[in-house]
């Protein structure tokens, strides 16, 4: 991939990731806390918000890993989501995870 093509990919991916975060933000966050979904499920399940995040994140990594393994085995299977979308989701989950870390650090600093 040429440098110009890669630069275009980066810009398009950032725009797509932003659009997804905005669209899904209201769906998952009940109120002002954008990370509420992780915290709510953590409380319901007796886990930390970071553990809930890791489970959700691993779902996308698992799909990407399966895709990569399928290339080696020359397997073409139907997928519930486009593989490029899985990369966008994984990028977004990294940002959400970073938000959880920052949020926890702020709470710890208040103590």
3-state secondary structure of 15: helix
pLDDT, position 72: 95
25, 34 contact by CB (below 8 A): yes
Alpha-carbon distance 57 to 37, whole Å?
13
Q: Is 28 left (phi over 0), alpha (psi -120 to 50) or beta?
A: alpha
Condensed to tens digits (0 to 9), the pLDDT of residues 19-63 reads: 999 888 877 777 789 999 999 999 999 999 999 999 999 999 999
Distance CA 31, CA 88 (A): 24
The answer, yes or no, to whether residue 78 has pLDDT greater than 90, is no
């Amino acid at each position: 991939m040429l440098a110009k093509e890669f630069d275009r990919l980066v810009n398009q991916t950032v725009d797509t990731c932003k659009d997804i975060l905005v669209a899904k933000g209201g769906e998952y966050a009940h109120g002002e806390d954008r990370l509420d979904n992780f915290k709510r499920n953590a409380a319901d399940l007796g886990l930390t918000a970071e553990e809930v995040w890791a489970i959700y994140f691993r779902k996308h990594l698992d799909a990407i890993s399966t895709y990569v393994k399928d290339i080696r085995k020359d397997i073409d299977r139907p997928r519930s989501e486009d593989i490029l979308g899985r990369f966008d989701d994984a990028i977004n989950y990294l940002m959400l995870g970073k938000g959880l870390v920052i949020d926890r650090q702020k709470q710890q600093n208040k103590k």
